[in-house]
């Protein structure tokens, strides 16, 4: 896995055990079932998050230094690395 620290084991990161919690704590205040603050899509379900990875540059947005998501500032590097490991491992659901 490129650009992912060795201590992140991408094979153990799934949507259900890691990514869903990150989305809930970091994203769904705006990207909830009903979006707010101008959010263009929900990030509540596995399918919605995968679509954001595939079609809406989710990883680029969470890594951005100029226009990061969440809007209040970048999430922790650990959470970013977990999302990147999940993506690199093929976005497993369970």
Buried b (16+ CB within 10 A) or exposed e, 29-43: ebbeeeeeeebeebb
How far apart CA 55 and CA 65 sit, in angstroms, is 20
pLDDT (0 to 100) of residue 71: 87
The more confident residue out of 9 and 6 is 9
pLDDT, tens only, 49-87: 999 999 999 999 999 999 889 988 899 999 999 999 999
- pLDDT over 60 at 18, yes or no: yes
CA–CA separation, 44 vs 28, rounded Å? 7
Label residue 9 by pLDDT band (50, 70, 90): low
CA distance 22 to 82: 9
């Amino acid at each position: 896995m490129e650009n992912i620290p060795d201590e992140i084991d991408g094979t153990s990161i799934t949507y259900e055990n890691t990514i869903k919690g990150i989305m809930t704590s970091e994203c769904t205040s705006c990207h909830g079932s009903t979006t707010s603050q101008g959010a263009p899509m929900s990030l509540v379900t596995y399918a919605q998050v995968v679509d954001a990875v595939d079609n809406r540059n989710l990883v680029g947005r969470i890594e951005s230094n100029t226009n990061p998501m969440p809007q209040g500032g970048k999430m922790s590097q650990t959470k970013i690395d977990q999302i990147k490991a999940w993506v690199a491992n093929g976005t497993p659901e369970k």
